[in-house]
């Protein structure tokens, strides 16, 4: 006869074995770092133990906003000692998304402190794909009976074809995942169906589509007042689950056809952007595309359109900002920064330009152009005054899946520039991606062997700067300019900066401070042991011609 005592899966070998047999199992520590995975997990996700152990659990989720919000919720629950169950979007090593039914269980220590987490998953991608295929055929969302997004697109195109004016209304339930948790025991489907019914009652014959788990689109010829009335309607007739009224917050964005946008994709994008704005202001409102965001959108698409021709016509420019070496008492490096002055667009700053170029692929052309210019300058400066280096910013998009190393070395060779005269600045976003793609680190190492130096830019702004310093082939770090504004006024900032300098030294790295604008900042940094300084105090970015005349 067996005696009864508390049992957990780990002291019941049979259960442990069955779990292992049927489920993908992942275990993390309290920081969310993966400490073990089983075979099933490796088979489905294509990750290898070497790649996945020590990674954060966040990185194993798809990088869509929805998936990231799911893991955020899961993690909050786990830390509070609660179990979570639901559907999650995960990412395979190949970047491909898979769907799983996921059970996340916290393990607490004797004092009730969160110690480890266990994730059990079943791959349900096929079910979801079948459902999507059915929806595509039926043009209908099976759970709610609303139109699917395929039907929506077809209908919008039809209405545009007939030149009917209408409002494209994008609605979203705020804090959907928290809400689901709140209503313990209520499943997602019930909540979504109840909400869909409210929409049908209010919007009646106006077409309604479901385009995401908690995202909906309504097409209506009526104005903003009518759409906004839906929020009052919901307040008067709240959703009930059991006997309790649900505290529901809805946000929405409206874009008009034809006044605001003229195609399905643009209407969707504009309405989604407006929705984002509403959410940033706290949510709970439906507003129409503001004049401001309208302008941003138009400017974006104009930049998109004109960039290729600008590159063709050599309309982009490069300016150079000096970096002063404290020990050598002279400028030893010039950082290349791209500039674009356009008649119609005015000044397009790199902060605006680079993200657009990254998304349309033209970053490779910009990178090639800036590097070519910088390499030529390095050669000229060497002949004129010693051998200053040039430093060029790079985006990870340029390295991803491309033989970037060969391209860089070829450009240097054409310009007769020694690789040792070139430095490349990378950001944390770059480092993060490099961690994922071994080929990037490989290319960096080969470039380093050839003599190129790497600088970790914007140091101190990300959450893992220190980690990247350990395994990327970098020789310099550049402390971000955000620290300079409060350097003289906040003792905390001073301590942080001093700590970063000390730490870099311990790692054998050369440390630069950027954004230095005053003598007082400069003196303080020098007393802290900084190796080099960059900023308006030393010099603003200038054209190459001005550098030659300066010497
Ligand atoms: P970054 O690499 O951190 O560049 C420093 C930015 O700070 C530059 O802005 C520079 O003009 C500005 N700056 C310099 N000294 C001071 C100062 O004393 N005080 C203040 N407040 N600001 C100062 P810029 O040129 O607008 O560049 C913005 C960002 O765009 C750069 O940040 C860099 O990440 C990116 N970028 C610029 N050119 C390129 C490029 O050719 N390729 C890529 N991938 N990115 C680039
Ligand atoms: Ca930089
Ligand atoms: Ca920087």
Q: CATH topology for 10-127?
A: Beta-Lactamase (3.30.450)
- pLDDT tens-digit profile of 248-258? 889 999 999 99
Atom number of ligand 1 nearest to Cα 358: 44
Q: Can you identify the CATH homologous superfamily of domain 139-289?
A: Reverse transcriptase/Diguanylate cyclase domain (3.30.70.270)
Strands of the sheet containing 166-173, edge to edge, are: 208-212, 215-220, 166-173, 250-257, 286-288
Whether ligand 1 lies within 6 angstroms of the CB of 521 is answered as: no
Nearest CA to ligand 1 atom 13: 515
Nearest CA to ligand 1 atom 22: 515
Which range (119-128, 458-467, 515-524) has the least confidence? 458-467
CA of 525 from ligand 3 middle (Å) equals 17
Confidence band (pLDDT; 50, 70, 90) for 268? Answer: very high
Res 245 pLDDT > 90? no
326 and 526 Cβ atoms separated by less than 8 Å: yes
Res 14 pLDDT > 90? no
391 and 423 Cβ atoms separated by less than 8 Å: yes
The three-state (H, E, C) secondary structure of 492-505, written as one string: HHHHHHHHHHHHHH
pLDDT of residue 177: 54
Closest-approaching ligand to the CA atom of 480? 3
327-344 exposure pattern, b = at least 16 Cβ within 10 A, e = fewer? eeeebbbbbbbbbbeeee
Q: Can you identify the CATH homologous superfamily of domain 310-550?
A: EAL domain (3.20.20.450)
Average pLDDT in the 332-343 region? 96
Res 184 pLDDT > 70? no
pLDDT of residue 6: 45
User: In a mutational test of the pocket of ligand 1, which residue from 321, 331, 334, 337 has the highest number of ligand atoms less than 8 Å from its CB?
Assistant: 337
Whether ligand 1 lies within 6 angstroms of the CB of 325 is answered as: no
Whether ligand 1 lies within 6 angstroms of the CB of 338 is answered as: yes
pLDDT of residue 186: 59
Kindly state the percentage of the chain with pLDDT values over 90.
Answer: 56
> How many secondary structure helices (H) and strands (E) does the chain include?
22, 22
Whether ligand 1 lies within 6 angstroms of the CB of 429 is answered as: no
466 and 503 Cβ atoms separated by less than 8 Å: yes
Q: What is the pTM of this model?
A: 0.59
Q: Strand 244-245 to strand 476-479: parallel, antiparallel, or no bridges (unpaired)?
A: unpaired
Kindly state the percentage of the chain with pLDDT values over 70.
Answer: 92
Nearest CA to ligand 1 atom 34: 393
| Among the listed residues 351, 333, 330, 443, the one whose alpha carbon sits nearest the alpha carbon of residue 396 | 443
Res 3 pLDDT > 50? no
Domain with CATH 3.20.20.450 in the chain: 310-550
Domain with CATH 3.30.450.20 in the chain: 10-127
Confidence band (pLDDT; 50, 70, 90) for 137? Answer: low
Res 110 pLDDT > 80? yes
Nearest CA to ligand 1 atom 14: 535
pLDDT of residue 1: 37
Res 226 pLDDT > 90? yes
Nearest CA to ligand 1 atom 33: 393
CA of 277 from ligand 3 middle (Å) equals 27
Whether ligand 1 lies within 6 angstroms of the CB of 423 is answered as: no
Res 484 pLDDT > 50? yes
Domain with CATH 3.30.70.270 in the chain: 139-289
> SS3 for 431?
helix
Nearest CA to ligand 1 atom 36: 350
Whether ligand 1 lies within 6 angstroms of the CB of 481 is answered as: yes
CA of 322 from ligand 1 middle (Å) equals 12
Confidence band (pLDDT; 50, 70, 90) for 329? Answer: very high
Which range (271-275, 422-426, 476-480) has the least confidence? 271-275
Distance from the Cα of residue 544 to its chain's centroid: 34
pLDDT of residue 346: 93
| DSSP 8-state code for residue 249 | -
Confidence band (pLDDT; 50, 70, 90) for 291? Answer: low
- Those residues whose C-beta lies under 8 Å from the C-beta of residue 486, and which sit 6 or more positions away, are 493
Confidence band (pLDDT; 50, 70, 90) for 338? Answer: very high
Res 246 pLDDT > 80? no
| Among the listed residues 15, 188, 47, the one whose alpha carbon sits nearest the alpha carbon of residue 118 | 15
Res 9 pLDDT > 50? no
- What Rg value do the Cα atoms of the chain yield, rounded? 28
Nearest CA to ligand 1 atom 41: 338
Torsion angle, CA of 77/82/87/88, rounded to 10 degrees?
40
CA of 358 from ligand 2 middle (Å) equals 16
Whether ligand 1 lies within 6 angstroms of the CB of 393 is answered as: yes
Closest-approaching ligand to the CA atom of 478? 3
Nearest CA to ligand 1 atom 37: 337
Nearest CA to ligand 1 atom 46: 393
Confidence band (pLDDT; 50, 70, 90) for 480? Answer: very high
Whether ligand 1 lies within 6 angstroms of the CB of 349 is answered as: yes
Average pLDDT in the 217-223 region? 95
Whether ligand 1 lies within 6 angstroms of the CB of 350 is answered as: yes
- pLDDT tens-digit profile of 426-474? 988 888 888 778 889 999 999 999 999 999 998 887 666 667 777 789 9
Atom number of ligand 1 nearest to Cα 318: 41
User: In a mutational test of the pocket of ligand 1, which residue from 321, 353, 362, 393 has the highest number of ligand atoms less than 8 Å from its CB?
Assistant: 393
pLDDT of residue 181: 55
Residues by chain with Cβ below 5 Å of ion ligand 2: 393, 425, 457
- pLDDT tens-digit profile of 485-509? 999 998 889 998 999 999 888 889 9
Atom number of ligand 1 nearest to Cα 349: 26
521 and 488 Cβ atoms separated by less than 8 Å: yes
Res 231 pLDDT > 50? yes
Confidence band (pLDDT; 50, 70, 90) for 134? Answer: low
Whether ligand 1 lies within 6 angstroms of the CB of 541 is answered as: yes
- pLDDT tens-digit profile of 400-424? 767 899 999 999 999 999 999 999 9
């Amino acid at each position: 006869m067996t005696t009864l005592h508390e049992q957990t899966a780990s002291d019941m070998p049979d259960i442990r074995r069955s779990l292992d047999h049927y489920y993908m199992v992942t275990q993390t520590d309290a920081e969310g770092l993966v400490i073990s995975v089983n075979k099933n997990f490796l088979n489905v996700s294509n990750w290898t133990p070497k790649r996945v152990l020590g990674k954060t659990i966040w990185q194993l989720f798809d990088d869509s906003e929805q998936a990231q919000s799911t893991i955020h919720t899961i993690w909050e629950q786990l830390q509070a000692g609660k179990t979570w169950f639901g559907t999650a979007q995960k990412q395979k090593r190949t970047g491909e998304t898979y769907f799983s039914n996921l059970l996340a269980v916290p393990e607490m220590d004797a004092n009730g402190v969160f110690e480890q987490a266990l994730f059990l998953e079943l791959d349900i991608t096929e079910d979801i794909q079948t459902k999507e295929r059915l929806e595509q055929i039926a043009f209908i969302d099976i759970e709610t009976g609303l139109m699917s997004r395929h039907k929506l697109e077809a209908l919008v195109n039809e209405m545009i074809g007939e030149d009917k004016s209408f409002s494209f209304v994008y609605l979203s339930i705020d804090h959907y995942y928290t809400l689901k948790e709140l209503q313990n025991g209520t499943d997602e489907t019930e909540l979504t169906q109840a909400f869909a019914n409210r929409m049908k009652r209010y919007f009646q014959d106006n077409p309604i589509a479901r385009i995401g788990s908690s995202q909906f689109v309504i097409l209506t010829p009526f104005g903003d007042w009518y759409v906004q009335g839906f929020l009052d309607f919901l307040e008067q007739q709240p959703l009930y689950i059991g006997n309790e009224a649900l505290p529901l917050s809805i946000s929405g964005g409206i874009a008009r056809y034809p006044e605001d946008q003229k195609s399905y994709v643009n209407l969707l994008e504009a309405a989604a952007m407006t929705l984002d704005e509403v959410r940033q202001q706290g949510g709970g409102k439906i507003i129409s595309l503001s004049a401001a965001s309208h302008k941003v959108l138009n400017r974006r698409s104009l930049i998109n359109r004109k960039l290729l021709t600008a590159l063709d016509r050599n309309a982009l420019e490069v300016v150079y900002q000096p970096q002063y070496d404290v020990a050598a008492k002279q400028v030893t490096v010039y950082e290349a920064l791209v500039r674009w002055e356009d008649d119609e667009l005015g000044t397009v700053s790199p902060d605006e330009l680079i993200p657009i170029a990254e998304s349309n692929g033209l970053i490779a052309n910009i990178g090639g152009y800036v590097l070519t210019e910088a390499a030529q300058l390095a050669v000229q400066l060497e002949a004129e005054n010693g051998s200053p280096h040039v430093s060029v910013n790079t985006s990870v998009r340029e390295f991803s899946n491309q033989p970037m190393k060969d391209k860089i070395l070829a450009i240097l060779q054409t310009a007769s520039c020694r690789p040792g005269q070139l430095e490349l600045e990378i950001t944390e976003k770059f480092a993060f991606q490099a961690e994922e793609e071994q080929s990037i680190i490989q290319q960096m190492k080969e470039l380093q062997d050839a003599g190129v130096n790497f600088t970790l830019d914007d140091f101190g702004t990300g959450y893992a700067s220190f980690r990247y310093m350990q395994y990327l082939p970098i020789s310099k770090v550049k402390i971000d300019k955000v620290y300079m504004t409060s350097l003289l006024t906040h003792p905390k900032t001073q301590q942080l900066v001093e700590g970063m300098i000390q730490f870099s030294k311990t790692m054998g790295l050369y440390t630069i401070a950027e954004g230095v604008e005053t003598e007082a900042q400069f003196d303080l940094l020098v007393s802290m042991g900084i190796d080099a300084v960059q900023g308006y105090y030393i010099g603003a970015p200038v054209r190459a011609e001005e550098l030659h005349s300066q010497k």
